[in-house]
């Protein structure tokens, strides 16, 4: 079995051969082939930039892998500002002993997902370190922001509706199941959300905030948005879409889907008047079939009410939710 | 002693506190403080984009550290396309057990170097993995390319002069000395080369190629440029600037400075007529005091002559140089 050696990271002939045989084949385009220190590409008056490192173990899991994950995570972060994703860079850190066959599968998966998400990989870097055959990938994304678009975290308003694009907790539950070698068919939701965002923006729906639900889960995201806007967010437990198998899995382990990460779900805060239309648009777009309106935004009655996130439970109670405490599962992305 | 724990990577409260207490303090600016999924910033018609991961051990070495190194490496890659460096993103992968005090020093060093290099850090990400207290940093840079600028690897022409901006091998020798606990005063040359490039470009010197000398060393860089242009590069051994202490160090270990990496040196290929002027400009700019003209570019006489790199040795011999073979020292950057 071919494996990565320290020589692959030396910057000489072996590095060149690795790049040629693994990366060039999958990512090949004119810009990368030039092998310049930096890529020079077309720009735009306003650009969105985001960066993320991915360290998930195992690197291949039910429904996806670290290659698909890093492209989706980065593309989705650009989309959350209303940007059109354009370019990706990728920095690989390979541990000595990593299997070349696995690396090839991951790189192919990145290339396929990049095509799906309509982004071009324009720059890359590879380093090799001592270790146990693992790898991590940093992806940085650049997108173009159309004139007049202003979607940002503190932009929620009283009267807005809160929507989620589908089931929560899938990615987290899939990675955890895989690590615990549990027998179930839970799959990661890792997906690029271009179509949902494009259609929402084109439709004229008043989109105030978009945020993808990753580490920390839905509750953490909503709590942060409530604080950021100084408003009160209320959501209804019975509206939260959760896959039955994920619900059972969480019950068994004492986990709360509200704090479990996804990699292909977004929260949209839109004008209340547009809520129904936004839901239908999301439901008809790729990866949005199970979209739901889950709550509303209210003006804070008093100072202590600012930044509150209230959950109306199924049995009629109310719970104040905070951001994730403690460890979560750090290596789901 | 405070250390990084897995909880710092969970995406919840501990992650927030780490970002607040370590990164926000040093990097603070309006764009970062907004804590959005992506930064939205002013763009330009042509942008340069580059990415690099840094895994050097030890992370602090004589003359620099991984924080200064990652900013210099990325800024220099942008400069090598004639771009004005504007934005940086940084992705930290911290190993459990990393010292917070060390992380703070590295982050401060990054912030200072970013100021020196006139770039703004606009996006970041932090992950925590199992390990032995180490860290790696990915930096991705975005720069603006002025209209009409076209500096690229295959742009050398017969009759051009080859210049180097200063002593070769310093960074490599410094990191290796530090790892071997050798007693000397060799320091890394890690430096941002903005001033050299700005002044060369403003002066009207016909700059055809710029390339920073990193992994693989000067010989690897020049061989790649010769191949890329299909021309013959010739350099003179006696013109190569090498610090006497670095020369002794290399002699002792049987290393060749021609294959040792730098992190603050560039090769410039300029029109022969401008060679003297270019040398003076470099010598008067920050980090260019020891700049030298080291050789010339020739038309290939025959097909076998294309892409040759010839070294004229001090004793009057000729040697064909190839790119670095074997391992080098993978973790110098």
**Percent of chain B scoring above 70 in pLDDT:** 99
A282 within 8 A of A288, measured Cβ to Cβ = yes
Q: Give span(s): CATH 3.90.650.10, chain A.
A: 153-321
Question: Within its chain, how far is the Cα of A272 from the centroid?
Answer: 25
pLDDT at A239: 98
Q: Dump pLDDT digits (tens) for B307-328.
A: 999 999 999 999 999 998 876 6
E strand map for A213-285:
232-236, 266-270
pLDDT of residue A328: 65
| B326 → closest Cβ in A10, A39, A81 | A10
- Residue B91 · residue A90 · CB < 8 Å: no
* Residue whose pair of structure tokens reads 């002013």 in the numeric block: B42
Within a 10 A sphere around the Cβ of B26, how many other Cβ atoms?
17
How far is residue B58 from each of residues B5, B105, B126, B147, measured CA to CA in Å? 20, 14, 20, 41
Q: Do you find a cis peptide bond into A58, omega within 30 degrees of 0? A: yes
Successive 10-residue mean pLDDT values, chain A, 333 residues = 89 85 88 89 97 95 97 98 97 96 97 98 94 95 95 97 97 93 94 98 96 94 96 98 96 94 97 98 98 97 93 96 80 85
Residues of chain A with CATH 3.30.1330.10: 6-144
DSSP class of A19: I
Residue-level pLDDT at A29:
87
A51 touches chain B (CB under 8 A): yes
Q: What residues in B contact A16, CB-CB < 8 Å?
A: 323
Q: Between chains, do A123 and B78 touch, taking CB under 8 Å as contact?
A: no
Question: What torsion, rounded to 10 degrees, do the Cα atoms A36, A143, B127, B78 define?
Answer: 30
Cβ pair A90:B51 closer than 8 A: yes
At residue A245, φ and ψ (nearest 5 deg) are -65, -40
Q: Are B27 and B107 in contact (CB under 8 A)?
A: yes
| Residue B249's pLDDT band (cuts 50, 70, 90) | very high
Distance between CA atoms of residues B201 and B82, nearest Å: 8
Which of B187, B326, B161 is CA-nearest to residue B259? B326
Q: Judge residue B148's burial from the number of C-beta atoms within 10 Å of its C-beta, 0-12 exposed, 13-18 middle, 19 or more buried.
A: exposed
Confidence of residue B231 (pLDDT cuts 50, 70, 90): very high
3-state secondary structure of A35: coil
User: Which residues, numbered 87 to 116 in chain B, qualify as contacts with chain A under a Cβ-Cβ cut-off of 8 Å?
Assistant: 87, 89-93
Q: How is residue A38 written in tokens?
A: 């930096």
Of B145, B131, B300, which Cα lies nearest the Cα of B228? Answer: B300
With CA atoms as reference, report the closest residue to B71 among B135, B122, B141. Answer: B141
DSSP tag of A235: E
Q: Are residues A11 and B330, on separate chains, in Cβ contact within 8 Å? A: yes
A281 vs chain B: nearest CA distance in angstroms? 23
State the pLDDT at residue A33.
82
CATH topology of domain A153-321: Phosphoribosyl-aminoimidazole Synthetase; Chain A, domain 2 (3.90.650)
**Start-to-end CA span in chain A (Å):** 27
pLDDT at B7 exceeding the cut of 80: yes
State residue A330's pLDDT score: 65
ipTM: 0.93
Cis peptide before A154 (omega within 30 of 0): no
Which of A37, A45, A129 is closest, CB to CB, to B331? A129
Q: Is the pLDDT of residue B277 over 80?
A: yes
Sign of CA dihedral A246, A250, A251, A256: negative
Mutate to test the interface with B, among A5, A6, A12, A135 (most CBs of B within 10 A): A12
Q: What SS3 string covers B245-292?
A: HHHHHHHHHCCCHHHCCCCCCEEEEECHHHHHHHHHHHHHCCCCCCCE
Give the tens place of pLDDT for each residue, B161-219: 999 999 999 999 999 999 999 899 999 999 999 999 999 999 999 999 999 999 889 99
Buried residues in A45-55 as b, exposed as e (16+ CB within 10 A): ebbbbbbbbbb
pLDDT of residue B185: 95
A171-216 confidence digits (pLDDT tens): 999 999 999 998 999 999 999 999 999 999 999 999 999 999 998 8
Tell me the β-bridge partners of B209.
B269
pLDDT tens digits, one per residue of B95-127: 999 999 999 999 999 999 999 999 999 999 999
The two tokens of residue B8 are 């710092």
pTM: 0.94
If contacts are CB pairs under 8 Å, which of residues 18-37 in chain B contact chain A?
Answer: 34-37
Architecture of domain A6-144: 2-Layer Sandwich (3.30)
Residue A211, classed as helix, strand or coil, is: strand
pLDDT score of B327: 67
Closest-CA distance of chain A to residue B73, Å: 10
B42-78 pLDDT, tens digit each: 999 999 999 999 999 999 999 999 999 999 999 999 9
* B107 vs A321: CA distance, rounded Å: 33
The answer to whether the CB atoms of A11 and B331 lie below 8 A apart is no
What are A328's strand-pairing partners? Answer: none
Measure the CA–CA gap between A125 and B49, rounded to whole angstroms: 12
CB B67 within 8 A of CB B190: no
Looking at CA atoms only, how far is residue A177 from chain B in angstroms?
18
Task: Please tell me the predicted confidence (pLDDT) of residue B134.
Answer: 94
| Residue pointed to by tokens 């930064």 | B39
- Alpha-carbon distance B277 to nearest alpha carbon in chain A (angstroms): 25
A:274-303 residues touching chain B, CB 8 A cutoff: none
User: Cα–Cα distance between B123 and B34 in angstroms, integer?
Assistant: 10
Query: How high is the mean pLDDT of chain B?
Result: 94
3-state SS assignment for residue B172:
helix
């Amino acid at each position: 079995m071919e494996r990565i050696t320290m020589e692959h990271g030396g910057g000489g002939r072996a590095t060149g051969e690795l790049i040629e045989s693994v990366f060039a084949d999958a990512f090949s385009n004119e810009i990368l082939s030039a092998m310049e220190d930096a890529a020079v590409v077309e720009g735009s008056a306003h650009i969105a930039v985001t960066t993320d490192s991915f360290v998930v173990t195992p690197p291949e899991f039910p429904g996806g892998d670290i290659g698909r994950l890093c492209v989706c995570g980065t593309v989705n972060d650009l989309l959350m500002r209303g940007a059109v994703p354009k370019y990706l860079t990728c920095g690989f850190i390979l541990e000595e002993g990593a299997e070349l066959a696995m690396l090839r599968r991951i790189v192919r998966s990145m290339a396929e997902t990049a095509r799906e998400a309509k982004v071009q990989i324009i720059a890359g870097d590879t380093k090799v370190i001592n270790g146990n055959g693992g790898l991590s990938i940093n992806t940085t994304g650049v997108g173009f922001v159309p004139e007049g678009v202003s979607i940002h975290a503190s932009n929620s308003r009283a009267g807005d509706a809160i929507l989620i694009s589908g089931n929560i907790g899938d990615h987290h539950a899939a990675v955890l199941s895989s690590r615990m070698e549990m027998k179930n068919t839970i799959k990661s939701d890792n997906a690029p959300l271009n179509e949902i965002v494009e259609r929402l923006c084109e439709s004229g729906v008043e989109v105030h905030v978009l945020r993808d639900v990753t580490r920390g889960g839905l509750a953490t995201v909503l709590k942060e948005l409530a604080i950021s806007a100084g408003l009160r967010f209320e959501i209804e437990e019975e509206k939260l879409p959760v896959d039955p198998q994920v619900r059972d899995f969480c019950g068994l382990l004492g986990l709360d889907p509200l704090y479990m990460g996804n990699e292909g779900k977004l929260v949209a805060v839109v004008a209340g008047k547009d809520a129904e239309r936004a839901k239908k648009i999301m439901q008809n777009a790729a990866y949005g079939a199970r979209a739901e309106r889950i709550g509303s935004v209210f003006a804070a009655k008093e100072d202590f009410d600012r930044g509150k996130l209230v959950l109306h439970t199924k049995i009629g109670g109310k719970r104040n939710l905070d951001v994730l405490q403690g460890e979560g599962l750090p290596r789901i992305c």
